[in-house]
Amino acid sequence: MLRKIVLGMAAFVIMAGVIIAEEVKGKFKSFEKGTLTLTVKGKEEVFKVKGKEVKIFNGDEEVKGKDGRSAFWKGLDGKSDVTVTFDKDGDNVKVTEIKVKK
């Protein structure tokens, strides 16, 4: 009996916690008011970048602080290669990391 309960709870936790991490690589197009737009295979992909929980890297160096992030976005152009990592749970997309290749 106890084994069935434990196995049932383990199955529930596994199924309930399924969040698929995905990654998109593209060219920087714009960043305005928390919205990042990339060009991916000729199409525009739009991501909402919400606050400090999103880690941003310029090469291997993490970009920190409001002023640092502001300067970072202003320094990008259409030639910048950007990788966006996000968690997708149904229709909910949460950006977790942004990396720009130096």
Q: Is residue 14 part of a domain?
A: no
Instruction: Report pTM.
Output: 0.74
Question: Residue 81: inside a domain, yes or no?
Answer: yes
Does the residue 4 lie in any domain?
no
| Number of domains the chain contains | 1
Domain span at residue 85 reads 20-100
Is residue 38 in a domain? yes
pLDDT at 50: 84
Q: Is residue 15 part of a domain?
A: no
Is 1 inside any structural domain? no
User: What's the confidence (pLDDT) of residue 57?
Assistant: 94
Sheet holding 20-32, edge to edge: 43-48, 35-40, 20-32, 81-89, 92-100, 55-58, 61-62
CATH number at residue 55: 2.40.50.320
* Residue 40: per-residue pLDDT: 93
Average pLDDT by stretches of 10, the chain with 102 residues: 69 57 90 91 90 89 89 89 88 88 80
